[in-house]
Every structure is written in structure tokens, then in C-alpha cells.
Amino acid sequence: MGKLQIIGRLARVAATAVTPVALDEATKIINNQLDKRKHYVKIPDVKSLSLDEAGKVLEQYKFNYALVKVPADIKYAYNDSDTVLHILPKGGTAVDPTTFVKVYYADADTIEKSNILSKEMANQKINKQEKRQQTMRNVTNKSKQVVTRVGNKMPFRKKDADK
């Protein structure tokens, strides 16, 4: 069900419960919004395009845009440099043609730093796992020692040994 159908149904339901003056005001508001949105255009999805290609596409739609370099982050470690990572507003969103678009990208330096962060994170993960395993080995060994000591301190009867 489309937006217009929903609005139409709501208007019909409200018409029976609302005074004519309020109904006229609501109709004006709805019509103003619909008129305003007639000229909206969808932002093209330029994600994963090179910066040059994305710029050409946005210029075809006459959008003003800015390129914004993202800081190094693990999530960008395996992306290509100088390609669009994401845009705001998101691609496919219907907006006013005068909307300013931000195009986020990572250059080669940012990708390299992101790779370093990713490797450091992987190493930290491995170190934590090794520490956990070593702790478990220590607990297990200590438990064995305690059981052995307790067993050695317990009196051992001849009857029990024969069984």
C-alpha cells in the first residue's frame, strides 16, 4: 500500500471524527507536503565507485557534494583506496534536489593504517586466547597437584588396597 493510499484512508477515517475546519487544515498540510515532494529526486547509489565516477554521477543529477576522508579503522582494512565507502544521505533516498551530499572515502594511506590496525587486533586476539589457554593449563595442573596431595594424606587401608 502506497503512501498516498495510507494518507487517503487516514483522511477518510479522520473526516468522520474531525470538524470540517480541522479537516481543511489537515488537507492543506498534506497537500503542501505532497507538492513539496513532487520535485524530490533519488540519490544515486555510488557506493564502491571510484571517486571520479561517483563525482560524475552526482554532477549529472546536479547534486552539490563534498569528499570526506575517513580516519583509519579496522572496517576499512580490505577496501580499495579512493573508492566511495558510503554517502550521506544514503543512496536511494528521495531528497530535495538542493540537498548537499557527503561522499566518504579512504585513500591509500588510510587503507594501510587500517590494515596495520587489523593485524594488531588479530595479534591481540591471539595473545588473549593464548593467555586463556595458559590459565586453563595452570588451573588444571594446580588441581591435579591438590588432588594428589589430598590423596597422599588420606590413610590407605589394607582392605581398600585388596579390592
CATH number at residue 103: 3.30.10.20
- One domain, residues 25 and 99: no
Judged by DSSP in three states, 66 sits in strand
Q: What is the pLDDT of residues 135-163, one digit of tens each?
A: 999 989 888 888 888 878 777 666 655 55
Name the 3-class secondary structure at 88: strand
CA distance 76 to 78: 6
Residues 31 and 70 in one domain: no
Please indicate, yes or no, whether residues 14 and 45 belong to a single structural domain of this protein. no
In this predicted structure, what is the pLDDT of residue 18?
A: 57
Owning domain of residue 15: 3-37
Residues 44, 79, single domain; the answer is yes
Alpha carbon distance 115, 82 (integer Å):
15
pTM over 0.85: no
What span, in angstroms and rounded, lies between the C-alpha atoms of 159 and 50?
85
Which percentage of the chain shows pLDDT scores above 70? 87
69 phi-psi bin (left φ>0, alpha ψ -120 to 50, beta other): beta
Q: How many domains does the chain have?
A: 2
Average pLDDT over residues 13-27: 68
Is the same domain home to 122 and 46? Answer: yes
Whether 46 and 32 map to the same domain: the answer is: no
